[in-house]
Structure 1
């Protein structure tokens, strides 16, 4: 049975339909964000980096980042999107940010050491944020993400 190691909740500013996570030491990322960014599939994995396409152009989204010791059960709830990927983090920490707004000042801590991670990304609120974005910039948090990380075996 898997065990939750840590859980962190943060807000991230989405812009140009996207957010990203990449190794905190961007010198270890062959193509650092925003190079090669384009809105596309919900989740795109690149070496050392994850690109997530939002359903809204500009808004604040909620991110819940969970670190587990083994593959956890999928998060409960109704999710409009859910995908899995892999990411190598040399630093054990991830930078999070929007397309033009850049990174948040503090990293997301995974382990503090080099590790290959599996990740499940689930999202809700996509339909609602898309509708509200057609009328302007959505107020408050509408789109929510849960990212579950666990070490690859």
Structure 2
């Protein structure tokens, strides 16, 4: 059974529906965010980054990041969206940021670097944030859980 190594709670400012988890060291990446961003795809991997399509235009989203020592089952819940991807991280730190705004207050710290990680991304609150951001900015209505474990 997999053991959780760490858990982080983060908030990120979303604009233009876009969010990214990106290696802090972008020097090796052929396309830093937002190059190639596809606003129609919930989760799209690139070398060194994961692009995420939010359901709200302008708001603050809540992110829970879990790092595990092995594959883990999907947590129970009524998830609106889910996706999986592999992510190579050279620096051991990921920045969480919107399309044009600055990064979240803290980086995501991975215990091994360089390493390739399997990532499961889950989201809830999408319909609510889509409706609310038509009229005003929302705060922590859209909630993400990102689970990381070492790729085989």
**TM value normalised by structure 1:** 0.95
Structure 1: where are the runs of 5+ without partners? Answer: none
Deviates more, 1:27-36 or 1:13-22: 27-36
How far off its partner does 1:135 sit?
Answer: 2.1
**TM value normalised by structure 2:** 0.95
Q: Is the 8 A contact 2:16 2:57 kept in 1?
A: yes
Match of 1:70 in 2: 70
Alignment of 1:1-153 (within 5 A): 1-138=1-138, 140-153=139-152
Q: Distance in 2 between matches of 1:4 and 1:83?
A: 20
How far off its partner does 1:16 sit?
Answer: 0.5
Q: Distance in 2 between matches of 1:15 and 1:34?
A: 12
Q: Distance in 2 between matches of 1:133 and 1:150?
A: 33
Q: Distance in 2 between matches of 1:39 and 1:28?
A: 24
Paired residue total: 152
Spell out, residue by residue over 1:10-69, the C-alpha distance to the aligned partner (whole angstroms, 9 max, x if none).
111011101001111111221001222231210000111100000000000000000000
SS of the residue corresponding to residue 106 of structure 1 reads coil
Structure 1 stretches of 4+ moved >4 Å: none
Structure 2: where are the runs of 5+ without partners? Answer: none
Q: Distance in 2 between matches of 1:132 and 1:39?
A: 19
Provide the alpha-carbon RMSD of the alignment. 1.1
